[in-house]
Each structure stands twice: as structure tokens, then as C-alpha cells.
Amino acid sequence: METLPIRTGIFGGSFNPVHIGHLALANYLCEYGELDEVWMVVSPQNPFKKDQQLLNDDLRLAMVEAAVAGYPKLKACDVEFRLPRPSYMISTLRRLETDYPERRFSLVIGADNWLAFRHWKAAEEILRDFDIVVYPRPGYAIDTAALPASVRLVETPLLEVSSTFIRRALQEGKDIRYFMHPASYRLLCPSSSASIEAVGLSENTPSTENSF
Ligand code: ATP
């Protein structure tokens, strides 16, 4: 009997840090979005574009891993850490389909990214060879009648949270623990104080003393 490919959504981002908006969306897509799994692909720091605001690669990945532990439909994926940088989605998708032939990969992007999608590297190739799942983002209207056949809009609940909000809140010394998964939050703020000074880290080297 022929086995069906595992429908796997690829949800990329810097996850700096991962928050409940990302997790609720990925969770929803697994349960209601016609996907068997969603892989959260953590994009690595571009070595030529050092961003002092970007937490180190290993910590961002560890926070995603901690958040998804125990829910097998979500996975943290570090494939882009091993690809040439800057990493382009077409290379990520090609690598994954080579490494996991038993899966059928779809790209998961927000409405904001869909509206700019034609500027992506190899946009036509992605459209031709992969399905795309677009989820709503506030302020970015999608004309569903104009979507190509391989692109589908899913209606998902929206949580108004961003990593920028979390970073700023921590810099201001706020305790915003309920905006993150508790296990990720513990990695980011190992002390009970939510102060970002307690977290430290900006250079791309693992450290126990991290700061933005
Ligand atoms: P930042 O504030 O640092 O720009 P972010 O919160 O937008 O970060 P990213 O790591 O850039 O997070 O997000 C990865 C993907 O998740 C992006 O495609 C982004 O559109 C989406 N995303 C971000 N926040 C939410 C949210 N609250 N709900 C659903 N999707 C989100």
C-alpha cells in the first residue's frame, strides 16, 4: 500500500525570541491547516550583517526546541545553520526535500511576506514546485481570487505579539513571561528577574551571560 507523504509546513524566521504568536499559529496550522507537522526553521545570523539585536543562533534554536518539546507536530529545524549564508528559502526547501523524500514540504508565510513574495529569490520556482500556505497578518489584505493554484489562504486566529515587543519589554525590565512559552522564557531569563541584563549576549557565540 502506498504511504502518503507527511505534509510538512516550513515556517521560517529569526525567532528572536520565539513567542506565543509564532507557537499559536504553528499549533493551529497542525490542527486545522491541513498540515501534519510544522517545522520552525531558525534563520542563522548573517556573518556579514552582525545585528546586535540578534540573540545567538544556539540560544534562539534552543528556545524553539524547548517550546515545542512534547508536541510532536512541531519541530525546531536548524537546516539553515548548515547552508551557505545568507540563506535563501529555495535552498532550504531543496535541501529538505533531498534529505526527507518521504515528506511533502509547503512554505508557510504571512500575508505581508506573500505581498512581497515576487521579490524572493527563485519565487517562480518555489511557486511551481511547492505549495504555499498564507496566513493573515493585520493590515495586509489578500485578494483570494488572484491567488495562484498552489497558494492557499488559511484563516487563523491572530495574536498581536512580536519579538520586537518582547525585546523592548525585557530591556525595560518588564516581566512578560506569559508572552512566551515558559521553557523558552526560562532559557532567556534564567534568573527569576525578567531583566534583560540577566540574560545578556549579542555576539554569535554561546554564552550563559546573554544580552541584546
Ligand atoms: P521581529 O519583531 O523581531 O521582527 P517577529 O515577531 O515578526 O520578529 P520573526 O522571527 O520575524 O518574528 O517571525 C517569523 C515569522 O513569524 C514571520 O514570517 C512573521 O510574519 C511571523 N510572525 C511574527 N509574529 C507573529 C504573530 N504574532 N502571529 C503570527 N505570525 C507571526
Cβ(164) – ligand 1 distance below 6 Å: yes
**Measured in angstroms, how far is the CA atom of residue 22 from the centroid of ligand 1?**
6
Which of 113, 95, 128 is CA-nearest to residue 13?
A: 113
pLDDT value, residue 198: 44
Nearest-CA residue for ligand 1 atom 25 is 21
**Measured in angstroms, how far is the CA atom of residue 163 from the centroid of ligand 1?**
7
- The three-state DSSP-derived secondary structure of the chain is CCCCCEEEEEEEECCCCCCHHHHHHHHHHHHHCCCCEEEEEECCCCCCCCCCCCCCHHHHHHHHHHHHCCCCCEEEECHHHHCCCCCCHHHHHHHHHHHCCCEEEEEEEEHHHHHCHHHCCCHHHHHHHCEEEEECECCECCCHHHCCCCEEECCCCCCCCCHHHHHHHHHCCCCCHHHCCHHHHHHHCCCCCCCHHHCECCCCCCCCCECC
Extract the C-alpha cell encoding 154. Answer: 488559511
Long-range contacts of 47-55 (CB under 8 A, 24+ apart): 47/85, 47/204, 48/85, 48/86, 49/86, 50/203, 50/204, 52/202, 52/212, 53/16, 53/167, 53/202, 53/212, 54/14, 54/16, 54/202, 54/204, 55/16, 55/17, 55/188, 55/201, 55/202, 55/210, 55/212
pLDDT value, residue 205: 38
pLDDT value, residue 48: 65
Cβ(25) – ligand 1 distance below 6 Å: yes
**Measured in angstroms, how far is the CA atom of residue 80 from the centroid of ligand 1?**
18
Nearest-CA residue for ligand 1 atom 7 is 162
Nearest-CA residue for ligand 1 atom 6 is 162
**Measured in angstroms, how far is the CA atom of residue 134 from the centroid of ligand 1?**
13
**What single-letter amino acid sits at 147?**
L
Separation of alpha carbons 46 and 107, rounded Å? 21
**Measured in angstroms, how far is the CA atom of residue 211 from the centroid of ligand 1?**
20
Separation of alpha carbons 189 and 55, rounded Å? 13
> How many of the other CB atoms lie within 10 Å of CB of 1?
3
pLDDT in tens, the chain (212 residues): 678 999 999 999 999 999 999 999 999 999 998 899 999 999 998 766 666 689 999 999 999 999 999 999 999 999 999 999 988 999 999 999 999 999 999 999 999 999 999 999 999 999 999 999 999 999 999 999 999 999 999 999 989 999 999 999 999 999 999 999 999 999 999 974 444 444 544 434 334 334 34
pLDDT value, residue 153: 96
pLDDT value, residue 38: 98
